[in-house]
Amino acid sequence: PAPASREPAPGAGLEASATAIPPPFAPLSGWEHGVWSDGTVMLVADFFGVTLYCREGQAGRSPEGVRDFAGLAASGQGERFVAAGVGEEGGVVIWREGRWHKTRAPTVDDDELIAVAVDDAGAVYAAGQRRALYVARGDDWSVHRYPAELKGEVAAAVWLGGGELLLVGSDGLALRFMDGAFSRSARVPAEVTESLTHAWSSPGGDLWLAGDGELLRVRPDGALSRRRPPIFGKLSGLSGVHTEEGDVVAVSAQSEVVLFDGVSFSRVDGDYSFPEGIYLDGAGEVLYLAHRDGLRRLAVNHPKIVPQGLPAGATCPLPSRPQDAEWRAELERNELIEPVERPVLEEVKPGKPTPRQSMPIGRIALGVASGAVPAEPGAEPGRGAAFALDVGVGGTLGLAKYVSIWPEIGYAYSRLPNGANHLFLVGIGPLFGSKMAAVGVLPRFALGGSENLFGVGVRTGLVGSFLLDMIAVEVAHQWLHADQREIHEVRTMISINGVPLLLAASLARIFSGGRRGLFRRRR
């Protein structure tokens, strides 16, 4: 359903105090996809649009027509405030001159907008995922294609100041855009080769990056340090605050958010799951989290974060809204749950890479066998092709991140010119690749034959294994020595691993039985 209207209330602009602790941003209901803030204003994106609102309760909703927002950013104060959000099919919403504008970036080659940044002059930089950077200055757009040799895809954009925009992405992508030209960014060391998903530039000069399960910190002199947050899953958000004692950053993953102060990690308590965007508010000791249940406020209580007023001159670009009873009641309904304790979490030290998964295998393979069988020793072989069947039991055993071994015993059937052939197979071979796709060689000892031809031999197969070893493709050559004859066979097979399917069916049966029992008890 479309979100409820969040129209601004009439009134005059309200300037923030430089000394008073500002009121918190009000929580929002509905599925929120992202959040951005500079402490004075906040941008919150859901599937249908972007809401700009201030601490006093004012709100301004972007026009309809742009959906599924991938990035938010803003810059400036008062009349010079500019905000932007990028969505699907090149859609862009821009706040400038006191109101929202809807436009569309001139994307090329079906490029998808993935991130956005706003510079000090109010120019909007909409980053395409693969093709180009699209820059809006007022109503004018310019297109800057990425270098032809660019590898990887863009994931995040951050304005570094001094006329420099930084784009980061997969496979260590770190691209600088300055004076209309691209170059390899010197702010990200060349030794960073993992995929980067988020970036935050601290006012203190440090650059923070979220990588493949690691938090990276780049000092102004280029010194790089890595820490692995004690949370599970891909890092989904990064935010930070600069204090007199240094930076404090927040990172989120599947169902957790932790703070890092340069020394240790501490968990942010609260009832939340699958955060899609976070903002660490240094003015109020609060972390704002956007997820499927709305925008939530979580207390952080970190000793380095001291509540303080907003910078002098910080103003809300929206008309003021009195803190009426309804708005205050909404805040009271969403009071912060103070954590019982603030334990320091031990850092997960980088260790040996996680081995490729181990998977039991009980497979059935169907295919075609083409063979050559001499009728008599030394005679010209008879040739033919027919249906082939393999049944195997074994498993893949992970040894290293991209290496596993595949032991197997099994039975093979084919019908060649000498009749039906039945073989017993046993072997072991290596696999190289990820859990989603791997290739390897599987040599096997073969014993058996037809009713009147019994022999021994070897089958050697080139194997491709896919989707957690659930599907495999094999092209194999089989040689069998039987009664002084050389029998050659080429088999092309495709197989399905039935073990995961049986486990899934068993769990589904157990789960469905448990649900029925629960419903019976309720009735």
Question: Are 84 and 224 found together in one domain?
Answer: yes
Please state, in angstroms and as integers, the Cα–Cα distance from residue 149 to each residue in 39, 111, 152, 216, following that order. 39, 17, 10, 25
**Number of other CB atoms surrounding residue 1 within 10 Å:** 6
Question: Are 61 and 204 found together in one domain?
Answer: yes
- Tens-place pLDDT, residues 220-276: 999 999 999 998 888 889 999 998 889 999 999 888 899 999 999 998 888 788 888
User: Mean pLDDT throughout 148-171?
Assistant: 93
Find out whether 405 and 429 touch, Cβ atoms under 8 Å: yes
Q: Is residue 5 part of a domain?
A: no
Containing structural domain, residue 79? 32-335
- Cα dihedral sign for 186, 192, 196, 202? negative
Q: Is residue 507 part of a domain?
A: no
d(CA 130, CA 125): 15
CATH number, residue 379? 2.40.160
Q: Is residue 7 part of a domain?
A: no
State the pTM of this model: 0.61
Closest CA to 54 of 283, 234, 347, 385: 283
Instruction: Using CA atoms of 302, 339, 259, 344 in order, give the dihedral in degrees to the nearest 10.
Output: 90
Q: Is residue 442 part of a domain?
A: yes
Helix ranges (H only) for 249-388 are: 325-333
- Coil, strand, or helix at residue 281? strand
Question: Are 296 and 184 found together in one domain?
Answer: yes
- Tens-place pLDDT, residues 18-67: 345 567 777 677 777 788 888 788 899 988 889 888 877 778 888 888 98
User: Mean pLDDT throughout 382-394?
Assistant: 86
Question: Are 472 and 427 found together in one domain?
Answer: yes
Find out whether 160 and 120 touch, Cβ atoms under 8 Å: no
Query: What does DSSP assign to residue 19?
Result: S
Question: Are 370 and 320 found together in one domain?
Answer: no
Question: Are 159 and 69 found together in one domain?
Answer: yes
Q: Is residue 26 part of a domain?
A: no
For residue 193, the cross-strand partners are none
Q: What is the CA radius of gyration of the chain?
A: 31
User: Which residues 6+ apart lie within 8 Å of 335 measured at CB?
Assistant: none
Question: Are 201 and 282 found together in one domain?
Answer: yes
434-437 LR contacts (CB < 8 Å, sep 24+): 434/356, 434/402, 435/356, 435/357, 435/468, 435/469, 436/466, 436/467, 436/468, 437/464, 437/465, 437/466
- Tens-place pLDDT, residues 406-428: 999 999 998 876 678 899 999 99
Q: Is residue 14 part of a domain?
A: no
How much is the mean pLDDT over the chain? 81
Residue 485 CA to chain centroid, in angstroms? 57
Q: Is residue 23 part of a domain?
A: no
Burial 53-69 (b: 16+ CB within 10 A, else e): bbbbbbbbbbeeebeeb
d(CA 394, CA 408): 4
User: Mean pLDDT throughout 70-87?
Assistant: 90
d(CA 252, CA 15): 32
CATH number, residue 205? 2.130.10.10
Question: Are 329 and 456 found together in one domain?
Answer: no
Q: How confident is the model at residue 134 (pLDDT cuts 50, 70, 90)?
A: very high
Residues of the chain with pLDDT > 90, as a percent, come to: 42
Question: Are 409 and 264 found together in one domain?
Answer: no
Q: How confident is the model at residue 378 (pLDDT cuts 50, 70, 90)?
A: low
Burial of 145 (0-12, 13-18, 19+ CB in 10 A): middle
Position 383 pLDDT exceeds 70: yes
Question: Are 104 and 242 found together in one domain?
Answer: yes
Q: Is residue 75 part of a domain?
A: yes
Total count of domains within the chain: 2
Query: What does DSSP assign to residue 28?
Result: B
Question: Are 263 and 124 found together in one domain?
Answer: yes
Q: Is the model more confident about 310 or about 474?
A: 474
> Residue 14: its pLDDT value, please?
30
Question: Are 374 and 270 found together in one domain?
Answer: no
> Residue 3: its pLDDT value, please?
37
